Chain A
């Protein structure tokens, strides 16, 4: 799939139209997203938290998969941009009634929507919607299968930049279930685009995709070795069903090998930060004292999520006259 995916995401002027994946978006554009988000951060601390950038626009959060945090921050971001927001949790029930994904989209289109924020359990779903939706509608990917979760990756980049300033000297470790993680795929693409010095993925082979090194990462199966010289530690959530599908023997053995404890944290650089896209499994992938400790920036990630999503939504609506 070498054919450019960015043709879909950018309009003729090279501006953001859809936000489906980090792939194909250059450093300049990613930096522009981070800078735009910066301008919203100050604002969200104020008494009046709203700007009229998307006044009169209708945004539909279309969640085919459950999520509290992502949906809430998208909703807040849209409201602070003064858009009208509708959040829909579409369980698989409507698809089991025979309505196809495309039918769902067409029905909502008919209600004069300007933007879809889509989360779906199948890789490629957001891409599919962007390809088939009406030309005036923007699509933001809020996570599709194991493919991409680009807004999460951008809020992580934002958080890293806030603290570490420069990407080029950074060694970043991503630890856990890389195989099933759309977050990891998008983070890796973003970190490589922004010029991080090294990305290490640390996991047992069962939780790494085949040929993971082709993503531009170093591979390590041992946490003690992998944490050396690391500036940024990103922990991934471990789903319980990984135990029943013969990927891992038990939570306790996983925690023993790959769980981030205070003593293991000491192997990394003393000023290393600890990140997690949430929700956390305390005692499975991360010790509570680390999650709540001084090096943890997990809650910062959550609050940054609003500003970053405001930035992406307003930029994607810009060609449609959202931001003059």
Chain B
């Protein structure tokens, strides 16, 4: 019997409406009780979480770990270490690996890689269409049976709306969630920056908000038509927030997330031609950032994701439009969420719920809460601990982040996955009897 006690921490569990200082008892990898010591409980391990927050482990809806196919950028080994150190206990993986996650074999390979990295809670998202080419349906049922948690087409376009309709109908038949990043390929026009003053000044190919909102509208209409459950990923602009809000008010079963960097950075923060700021969807305006924050506070946007995209150095070395988009984002996820709390954009409970309870509900996972009986996926963090984003403190293979060199406030001290300590910042785990 393995018993673990986390004591003196401020336990915040939005799913159960708990926010109190107390003890968390973990027995055999499962949450057993809060404060009420189980009969005959004898701790093998005690973590003193004084002045720290104890909350459900984070569930990240949008990550890329670069295997299989791009191990030059990152590996399961490097990125699961990064995830563990960031308090992330569950990750969804986009299907744009090489090969694409469009067969059961590739899905099984991913589960195997996850097992080898001692980080089992990696869920592949199945390709919606074969090879992500947007023309023929993938074998969604087999993929679901092989462990895929949802379907999606990564950032690749679907050839036409008829195919999208059919794919959604088919996904709905097997009760599969569609994870959809709204982007009209043609309106996007291979752009690399928000269609605004900055792109105009620097002559950068630009992407209007309409590329997102039109694709969102179309997908909402098809969700209504097909009954497919849809989750919108990496929303970037004000009008998308308004449209999702309206759809929810109308009673549609839709949800949405926002990438953490979109809640902090705008086009005006971009250092001229610095590829660290090259992300898709692009960094937009102050008004967009404000609405995204409000959407999170009001519950229109349910989740925050890291949209983790580690890159090798070469991918970011070049003239801005020619570099690859994306930020290595797992490790700054928590401090950037906490910054939103400090700025009173959201409450601590909202921030934690957006990283645990809400994604669990959308994915229908038995986690994201500290309910007795659930696997003990737990994140313990010190909200005041300052650290610098530098090579000494960084685990991801990708150093492509615009926050490099900056001081962050708030750091994960322990991460537990099903009761196993998969990350401990310092030697605060003491052995008892």
Contact = CB atoms under 8 A, between A and B. Distances in A.
B273 A124 contact: yes
Nearest to B271: A3
A127 B201 contact: no
A125 interface: yes
The residue in A148, A185, A211 that gathers the most chain B C-beta atoms within 10 A of its C-beta is A211
Nearest to A132: B317
Nearest to B204: A123
B117 to A, nearest CB: 31
Interface of A: 1-3, 5, 23, 100-102, 120, 122-125, 127-128, 132, 144-148, 182, 185, 209-212, 214-215
A216 to B, nearest CB: 10
Contacts of B268: 1-2
Interface stretch (B1-9, B55-63, B318-326, B364-372): B318-326
The residue in B271, B272, B314, B317 that gathers the most chain A C-beta atoms within 10 A of its C-beta is B272
A185 B201 contact: yes
Contacts of B195: 210-211
30 contacts: A1-B201, A1-B267, A1-B271, A3-B271, A100-B318, A101-B318, A102-B317, A102-B318, A122-B320, A122-B321, A123-B202, A123-B203, A123-B204, A123-B273, A123-B320, A123-B321, A124-B272, A124-B319, A128-B319, A128-B320, A132-B317, A145-B203, A147-B204, A185-B201, A209-B203, A210-B199, A211-B195, A211-B197, A215-B200, A215-B201
B68 interface: no
B206 interface: yes
Closest 6 CB pairs of A and B: A146-B203, A147-B203, A124-B273, A214-B197, A125-B319, A124-B320
Contacts of A123: 202-205, 273, 319-321
The residue in A122, A124, A144, A215 that gathers the most chain B C-beta atoms within 10 A of its C-beta is A124
A101 B205 CA distance: 20
Nearest to A214: B197
A132 B273 CA distance: 13
Interface in B169-226: 195-206, 208
B357 to A, nearest CB: 38
Given A123-B205, A144-B203, A146-B204, 19 more contacts: A1-B267, A1-B270, A3-B270, A101-B318, A101-B319, A123-B203, A123-B273, A123-B319, A123-B320, A124-B320, A127-B272, A147-B204, A148-B203, A185-B201, A209-B199, A209-B203, A211-B195, A211-B196, A211-B197
B317 A210 contact: no
A210 B273 contact: no
A101 B204 CA distance: 18
